[in-house]
Structure 1
Amino acid sequence: MPVPLSILDLAPLVSGGDVADALRRTLDLARRAEQFGYHRFWVAEHHFTPGVASSQPALLLGQIAAITDRIRLGSGAVQTGFQTGLSIVEQFGLLDALYPGRFDLGLGRSGQAKKEAVREAKKHETPQEERIVDGLLIPKPFSWAPIFASKRTALASSFLTQPGAEPLGLGDVLDQIGALLAGPVVDDEGNQVIATPGAGADLSVWLLGSSGGESARTAGARGLPFAANYHVAPAQVLEAVEAYRESFVPSATLAEPYVMVSADVLVADDDATARRLATPFAVWVRSVRTGLGAVPFPSIEEAEAHRWTDQDRAMVADRVATRFVGSPQTVTERLHTLQRVTRADELLVTTIAYDHADRVHSYELLAKEWSA
């Protein structure tokens, strides 16, 4: 039997559209995803990104829960550096109180340690050759160091945390969240606090990561499920899943490691149609990689008019080459390769297209072929 398929959505804006339109499309997609048989529907958290409307996962998940019945819902991922453990637990505790037993609390440390992020990025400044591992493309890594060090990043950061605030380390955040979910929390003098809502919430806690660094190792050491990003950082996906499995310690949550791996996907009725629909993706990725934040997804005509430089092409080459584009048979074959090489227990696919109907059709075609 094939492993489960799930969806990660960004509530992407398209050129000429607006935030309300993007959110309505995400709500419609969630309903369709449940009908198509997808296992989970996760939404992202992005800030100061002109082309992405998914900035507050808990708020958006509440709207999705109200119009669906059974599909699991979750965050991919709550950025722990911008909130307290209490605010996270209360938000998802509220969701669980209204729609019990349906939520995954996916956590990431994005924005939590800028200096550490720059330090990790510098590890990959030495060029690494592109390689094929048992049929899976592992491209050269992309360095985010210039973006982390940019003035725009500093400006964005000034709005994302309180002045002088020092975000907790990942382990400390997990300790707080675990204690509050188990609640009440009692000090050495018998004083107690309890998260209301939150204490006792039936949440599945996940960690997400793009490398073999702290997130992967912490997920393993704590016996939590782990989501590795092939679509964001394809060069490091094998490092990430290996670090997770090597660090894994059985817990009350998991007896064995559980890995979900993400992929960018676009499916159409045939390969040629899919390649044409995929044309704007490179322009969109370029906007992310320049550090200005993803632009609203362009139309095919706008993308075809884009003037490319050699530097632009190199900037997006890894993301374009590792996007799975084609007919249902073509994409399914490539996804099976990704699953086999990473030994993923589940795959998390994300699709962006200019026309919403094309995006929905892509997910429908994939679900049918995957389960055939």
Structure 2
Amino acid sequence: MTDRAPLSILDLSPFGAGSTPAQGLRDTIALARTAERLGYRRYWLAEHHLNPGVAGAAPHVLLAAVAAATERIRIGTSATIIGNYSALQVVEAAGVVAALHPGRFDLGIGRSGSTTQPTGRASEPAPPQARVVDGLLLPAARPFAFDAVRFAAQARLLRRTAGDADRFEQDVLDILALIEGSYVAPEGVPIHATPAEGQPIEVWLHGSTAGPSAELAGRLGLPFGANYHVAGSFVLDAVDAYRRAFRPGVLDAPHVIVSADVLVADTAADAERVGRGYAEWVHSIRAGQGAIAYPRPEDALVEPFEPDLLDAVGDRLDTRFVGDPDHVSERLETLQRVTRADELLVTTITHDPADRARSYELLAAAWGLGSPAERALATAVRA
């Protein structure tokens, strides 16, 4: 086994049934402190809008509070959905936090929206079937339908426009130029984005397929985030596309972080119990209503699930790493080996925030993060 990759955390600011959005935000800040103490490298926030059980709608605002509550851990977004903003808005928001907490900000950028560009294909390829590559499950792609009316309302509220994804590459180039201080407007006017200009903001691109994000990240020599926990079917394609396209730029060599959904408890039975509710939680997203408040374990459905539910969420259940610390560590080692990831990004969703914190603590000890004293404490509590 090669050396274990650094671990980082992706947090959505979820909250459980009976809790509140405000508590979910406070839990995020508390968890960031825990992550720093345990030795995680980065603490990244996601951007999700209009989800009844997720408070992480404005990551750039929340990151200011996370940065103020921590001292060393890198903080950032995974990912800022660029179509929801102008390039200048993104840079200025990142710049405020980066100026107050220099040397710690990671600006992750994700592409979304519609495009007017032709695909060049006569027809869409068939969804990939499930396969196992050197011990790593790549699940069958499971198409699911968004609530078109709700999706259209969200797009209108965010001022999305038809074909807005066509601007992705130019937006990324503008962001890089504004941070560097080399941006010149089409009118020929030099523009200086205070206080972001000159800040050591680390720009990442994130993608779920072998599409424009992977290719652009490679071509610009940027680090790339690949998505196993939501789009496991395509993770190897995305990483391979990035590496094929890579040219030295910001980086001299490719650098990949790969995400995974994990849940660790002292025993496998404890992990299965704490993890109940995940099927309903994922189904709420894929059914179009947005992520619900995570169900209480005692109220959640238990296996065997109905065939319709399994058909909608089975890929997420199959790629969630659930169990005791040794089992989850083994599965993460496989993910690292097969994807050749330089870093791993783990995310954990539970009803009780204490169970989330405990999962990260046990994983950190098993993976070898932090100080010997921290690892010994986690092991002692486990025993």
When normalised by structure 1's length, the TM-score is 0.93
Aligned counterpart for 1:78 among listed residues 77, 80, 83: 80
Aligned to 1:267: 264
% same residue: 48
CA contact (8 A) 2:261 2:348 kept: yes
Map 1:1-372; keep pairs closer than 5 Å: 1-110=3-112, 112-113=113-114, 123=124, 126-144=126-144, 146-147=145-146, 150-161=148-159, 166=164, 169-183=167-181, 185-186=183-184, 191-251=189-249, 253-304=250-301, 308-371=305-368
Deviations along 1:176-205, whole A, 9 cap, x unmatched?
Answer: 111211225345886322111211121000
CA shift for structure 1 position 310: 1.4
SS at the partner of 2:311? helix
Count of residue correspondences? 366
Match of 1:301, SS state, is helix
**2:379 corresponds to:** none
How big is the shift at 1:214?
0.7
Distance 1:261 1:326 in 2: 20
Q: Distance in 2 between matches of 1:114 and 1:174?
A: 16
The equivalent of 2:378 in structure 1 is: none
1:187-246 Cα distance to aligned partner (Å, 9 max, x none): 588632211121112100000001111111111111000000100101110111011111
Task: Find the aligned partners of 1:350 and 1:248 in 2 and give their Cα distance.
Answer: 27
Q: Residues 51 and 307 (structure 1 numbering): CA distance in 2 closer, same or farther, change over 3 Å?
A: farther
User: How far apart, in 2, do the equivalents of 1:117 and 1:284 lie?
Assistant: 35
Specify every segment of 5 or more residues in structure 1 that has no aligned partner in the other structure, as ranges.
none
CA–CA distance in structure 1, aligned partners of residues 88 and 127 of structure 2: 42
Q: What's the CA shift for 1:113? A: 2.0
TM norm structure 2: 0.90
CA distance in 1, matches of 2:118, 2:208: 11
* 2:363 counterpart letter in structure 1: L
Taking the aligned partners of 2:118 and 2:169, their CA distance within structure 1 comes to 16
Query: RMSD of the TM alignment (CA)?
Result: 2.3
Question: Residues 307 and 287 of structure 1: is their aligned pair in 2 closer, same or farther, counting only changes over 3 Å?
Answer: farther
Which aligned runs of 4 or more in structure 1 are off by greater than 4 angstroms?
Answer: 114-120, 162-168, 187-190, 305-308
Distance 1:119 1:362 in 2: 45
Tell me if the contact between 2:117 and 2:166 (Cα under 8 Å) persists in the aligned partners. no
CA contact (8 A) 1:5 1:346 kept: yes
1:220-274 per-residue CA deviation (whole Å, 9 max, x = no partner) reads: 11100000010010111011101111111111x2111000000000000011111
Letter in 2 for 1:5: L
* 1:265-288: CA deviation from partner (whole Å, max 9, x where unpaired): 000001111111111111101111
Unaligned runs of 5+ in 2: 370-383
Q: CA deviation at 1:100?
A: 0.5
The secondary structure found in structure 1 opposite 2:50 is coil
Equivalent residues of 2:174, 2:183 under 8 A apart: no
Amino acid at match of 1:369: A
